[in-house]
Amino acid sequence: MDNRYKHLDKLSSEFERRFGSAPTLASRAPGRVNLIGEHTDYNDGWVLPVALPFEVNVAARPREDGCVRIVAADLGQEAEFGPEDTEPSEDLWLRYPQGVAVEMRRDGHPLVGLDAVYGGDVPRGAGLSSSAAVEVSWVQAFALASGLSLPGPEIALLSKRVENEFVGVPTGVMDQFISALGREGHALLLDCRTLEYRHIPINLPGVSIVVVDTGGRRELASSEYSRRRADCEAAVERLRTRLGDIRALRDVTPEQLEANADVLDEVQLKRARHVVSENARTLEAADALTAGDAPRIGELMNASHTSLRDLYEVSSPELDAVVEIAGGVEGVIGARMTGGGFGGSAVALVREEAVEPLRDALAEQYPPRAGRAATVYVCKAAQGAEAKRLS
């Protein structure tokens, strides 16, 4: 079943009600989940995300005066801005489309204005990149309306700049890259240093991607994220005294790390061991997906969670509970926390006959441990962003 543009009918009706006629173009961009490769992005490493069948849609019609009038259908909010409005809005939701327009113009792209309605179903607060889906969908809408043809990597980098510099959230590039460049039935192996990427076929027939939102929100994520980055940077500085001109932990092999472990303090060594081993796991997982080697993928996912819990120390009791419960269900290939940690979601690869047993196990065992129910999303790898004319 094609789930693309699944909110367009509702948004088009709202567009006609608000603006008096039908929209002439639409765009869409999906959220994502990362199968493996956590906290490797800012260490110049590799990640292996997939696009999810949750998306943000924009229904729009060009304007010639450069003004942008927006209805945020899910939020019940309306606003407008012009080409001269280059300071970030006080309304956080508006910074995303406004930032896209500002950054596209800064790149020299001539933009028309838009009347637009947007909304979607990417779960907010679950670590599934709803913000990247918003950014990428707006780039697609502005580009089509203005007669621009932008390659996927440019869309991703522009959207990342919006998130970092206009919205003010210091993320890596993975979220925007997979939203812009995802392919149905594939994961995306992204080199976060070179930005080279490969679509990796998910050769696991009869297997679903199950995302479990723990309901635990990531109160510690921001401060601890900064601390983990600092730990990694300090480890590189110390290892550089032995290994020469290394730029990031990506440049360190497991053998080199263990041979020079004495230059690191206990915390730095734990962080470095996670990153170095996670990079190796991610590259191996890409090969295992292509080969359809389900047992090996499961081993790598489970090892990733253990490393994130014990070495990088970014898991949470709720995430650990989900992974442990999943591990006890026959037919679950592997499970791990995904995202920054301290809450958010876990991801599992699950044989289709095991999906309902996993739901049942989570419904029975998770609330007594976490004090709340978990939300389960059963998915396949979806197609990345696009835009189309409606008339």
**pLDDT tier at 338 (50, 70, 90 boundaries)?**
very high
Average pLDDT over residues 159-178: 91
Residues forming beta bridges with residue 332, ordered by sequence position = 350
Q: 118 is written with which tokens?
A: 């947007």
Strand, helix or coil for residue 246: coil
Mean pLDDT of 370-379: 96
pLDDT for 204: 97
β pairing state of 345-351 and 197-201? unpaired
Given a contact cutoff of 8 angstroms between Cβ atoms, the answer to whether 191 and 46 are in contact is yes
Evaluate whether 8-203 and 207-379 have a shared fold: no
Give catalytic status of residue 175 as yes or no. yes
Region label for 141, one of left (φ > 0), alpha (ψ between -120 and 50) or beta (otherwise): alpha
**C-alpha to C-alpha distance for 96 and 163, rounded to whole angstroms:** 8
Give the integer Cα–Cα distance in Å for 124 and 217: 11
Domain extents for the chain?
Answer: 8-203, 207-379
Rg over alpha carbons for the chain, rounded to the nearest Å, is: 21
In whole angstroms, give the CA distance from residue 53 to residue 169.
24
Percent of the chain scoring above 70 in pLDDT: 98
Question: In the predicted model, what is the mean pLDDT of the chain?
Answer: 95
User: Which residues, at least 6 apart from 284, have a Cβ–Cβ distance to it below 8 Å?
Assistant: 296, 300
Residue 125 has pLDDT above 80, yes or no: no
Residue 103 predicted with pLDDT over 70: yes
**pLDDT at position 223:** 76
Whether the pLDDT of residue 35 is over 90: the answer is yes
Q: How confident is the model at residue 66 (pLDDT cuts 50, 70, 90)?
A: very high
> Please, what is the Cα angle at 174 between 168 and 177, to 5 degrees?
100
Residue range 67-92, pLDDT digits in tens: 999 999 999 999 999 999 999 999 99
Which tops the pLDDT comparison, 236 or 220? 236
Query: CB neighbours (10 Å) of residue 237?
Result: 12
DSSP 8-state symbol, 123: P
Q: How much is the average pLDDT of 23-32?
A: 97
pLDDT of residue 234: 98
Mean pLDDT score, 18-32: 97
Question: What is the enclosing helix (H) or strand (E) of 328?
Answer: none
Q: Which of 254, 259, 301 is nearest to 275 (CA)?
A: 254
- Max Cα separation, the chain? 70
Of the candidates 277, 301, 299, the one whose C-alpha atom is nearest the C-alpha of residue 210 is: 301
- pLDDT of 381 above 70: yes
Averaged pLDDT, 110-119: 97
What CATH number has the domain spanning 207-379? 3.30.70.890
Q: Rounded distance, CA 378 to CA 79, Å?
A: 35
Question: What pTM was estimated for this model as a whole?
Answer: 0.94
Does 220 have pLDDT greater than 70?
Answer: no
Place of tokens 């996993």: 358
Selecting among 175, 213, 231, 251, the annotated active-site residue is 175
CATH topology of domain 8-203: Ribosomal Protein S5; domain 2 (3.30.230)
Range 374-385 average pLDDT: 97
Q: What integer pLDDT is reported at residue 2 of this predicted model?
A: 67
- CA pair distance 70, 67, nearest whole angstrom: 10
The pLDDT of residue 179: 98
CA nearest to 97, candidates 113, 108, 110, 109: 113
Please report the pLDDT score of residue 296 as a whole number. 98
Least confident of 28-32, 302-306, 340-344: 340-344
**pLDDT tens digits, residue range 195-211?**
999 999 999 999 999 99
